[in-house]
């Protein structure tokens, strides 16, 4: 069992939210993790650690993914929009 401090928990939640955004992009484009890794140079193990909450992605990897999917960094770093009433 691992124990995390507040900052670590917050970072991992942020990483999980970013992975969800990545997954939505990947699925909408119909590509696999393998294809993303092959075309960006990101290691498949890195994506796996990110997916399972063991890793918060480095900025340089987010840049590679944003470039690959042709989205801005804001897509990953922008906080969730407030819910509309």
- Per-residue pLDDT tens for 41-82? 999 998 888 888 777 888 899 999 999 999 998 888 776 443
Specify the pLDDT at position 78: 77
Specify the pLDDT at position 11: 54
Domain assignment present for residue 68? The answer is yes
**Mean pLDDT confidence for 3-19:** 60
Domain assignment present for residue 83? The answer is no
Which range marks the domain in which residue 19 is found?
6-77
Domain assignment present for residue 82? The answer is no
d(CA 50, CA 6): 18
Number of domains in the chain: 1
Percent helix, strand and coil across the chain, each to the nearest 5: 65, 0, 35
In the chain, the percentage of residues whose pLDDT exceeds 90 is 41
């Amino acid at each position: 069992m691992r124990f995390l401090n507040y900052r670590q928990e917050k970072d991992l939640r942020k990483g999980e939210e970013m992975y969800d955004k990545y997954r939505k992009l990947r699925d909408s484009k119909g590509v696999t993790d393998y294809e993303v890794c092959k075309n960006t140079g990101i290691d498949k193990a890195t994506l796996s650690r990110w997916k399972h909450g063991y890793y918060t992605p480095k900025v340089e990897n987010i840049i590679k993914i944003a470039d690959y999917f042709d989205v801005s960094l804001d897509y990953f770093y922008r906080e969730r929009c407030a819910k509309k009433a």
